[in-house]
Amino acid sequence: MAKTKGPMSGFRDFLASELIPRQRMIETIKKVYESYGFLPLDTPAIERFETLTGKYGEEGEKLIYQFEDHGGRKVALRYDLTVPLARVVAQYKDDLVLPYKRYQVGNVWRGESPQTGRYREFLQFDADIVGAKSALSDSEIVMMMADAMQALGVGALISVNNRRILDALSEKLGLDSDASRKLFLIIDKTSKLGKDKVLEEIKIEFGDKVSELVLQFLSISGSSEEKIDKIREVLGSSVALLEGISNLGEVFSILKKSGYGENLVVFDPTIVRGLDYYTGIIYETYLLDLPEIGSVCSGGRFDKLISLLSDGKVDLPAVGTSVGVDRLFSALEKLGKVEKVKTNSKVLVVNFPGIDPSNYSLLSKKFRAAGIAAEVYYDSSKLDKQFKYADSLGIPWVVMFGEEEIKKGLIKVKDLETGDQKLVNLEDFISSLKN
């Protein structure tokens, strides 16, 4: 018999043992986002190719999955969740209440070369505020990211910068856009390579004058407020710099007064974010106990992108964040924060021969009505087999309702972890599970 072929390279199956804890992680973050008033959005997996083309640059364009559908129309699988957001804002601009706060969880597809940790189909989890430009909206994204990490039970530090400060550095050095982009990408490696190696690379690429100023820039130390003050001594007082430090000063003031101090959020001038469309504040989130895994939640302000992506139909400021679902889940696993579960069921109702099976469906129905996930074993097999089924899935409780229990009007329950079993009243047992 021929061996069953698995998914294509870069694609994955998720069985319950991995999918359930992933879903729980996502649900935890969703609850945090919804507590801030964010609304869910879903968009089609397939978009018109013309909607996506020209939005991701030359390299990104090559990675778009594109094809003709049965009607001969050129279509594509969505590459990210940001372009669909821009389309939705443009299409429903008269129906949306601004500021529009939305979150979206969905698969995206990119024709990349598969490698460890990189897939052709993966899950993105975005949250964005469209139509607000204030420092308070910038601050709220930071607060929400911090609250999400706390809800997941992990310590995290959010590093914040502003692209206008980087623009000021570029202006001070007299670099054009291409040279600036190259410099920023090198600076972005600081957390991985260290300051000395980064400066060495800058010196080789740009010379002594640039590396000397960048050394001063990277050597700024102190609290976030002190670093914001000191950066003016290095870069002067250009319009770009004043805009950047004014925004960060206001953001950090709001955060501090709202209970989000230096233990949660810091100013880090080495944070760059690789995407060119960021126009203001930018964020990266690192886990305190696993910083080497990289940022697990990143984003920033992109005031011109909605206009660009909607072909100029709508011009609205926006700020947001995106959770790296795979990276964050992997980190939680390494930190022992993921409960390994194979089922959501808490109770298995055993099936005895000669008993009307409707007794068991009715019994399990009562558990479900109380909010307790319960299932019935379908066949009246030997008890050992039924118990083994429950144990293999990690169902903690087995409920027996045979002739003896029916006569007494009670149920027999067995705790599969301890092996203890007892006769109890159904309502009392349900109450104990709920508590």
What is the domain partition of the chain in residue ranges?
136-302, 347-434
**Predicted TM-score (pTM) of this structure:** 0.88
State the Cα–Cα distance between residues 59 and 402, nearest whole angstrom.
66
Region of 269 (left: φ > 0; alpha: ψ -120 to 50; beta: rest) is alpha
In the three-class reduction of DSSP (H, G, I as helix; E, B as strand; rest coil), residue 159 is classed as strand
Q: Is 193 left (phi over 0), alpha (psi -120 to 50) or beta?
A: alpha
Do 136-302 and 347-434 show the same overall fold? no
Instruction: Report the top-level CATH class of 347-434.
Output: alpha beta
Check the CA dihedral 56-60-63-68 and report its sign.
Answer: positive
Please state, in angstroms and as integers, the Cα–Cα distance from residue 115 to each residue in 63, 294, 322, 330, 331, following that order.
15, 17, 22, 15, 18
Per-residue pLDDT of the chain (435 residues; tens, 9 = 90+): 578 899 999 999 999 999 999 999 999 999 999 999 999 999 999 999 999 988 887 888 899 999 999 999 999 999 999 989 999 999 999 999 999 999 999 999 999 888 777 889 999 999 999 999 999 999 999 999 999 999 999 999 999 999 999 999 989 988 888 888 888 888 888 877 888 898 888 888 888 888 888 888 888 888 888 888 888 888 888 999 999 999 999 999 999 999 999 999 999 988 888 667 789 999 999 999 999 888 999 999 999 888 987 888 889 999 999 999 999 999 999 999 998 899 999 999 999 999 999 999 999 999 999 999 999 999 999 999 999 999 999 999 999 999 999 999 999 999 999 999 999 999 999 999 998
Q: Residue 135 has which token pair? A: 């420092």
Torsion, CA 48, CA 49, CA 53, CA 55, rounded to 10: 30
User: Which whole-number Å values give the CA distances from 143 to 132, 255, 272, 338, in the listed order?
Assistant: 16, 8, 20, 24
Tokens 């000397």 locate to: 212
Question: CA–CA separation, 281 vs 319, rounded Å?
Answer: 8
Classified by CATH at the fold level, domain 136-302 comes out as BirA Bifunctional Protein; domain 2 (3.30.930)
For position 192, what pLDDT does the model report?
Answer: 79
3-class DSSP state of 332: helix
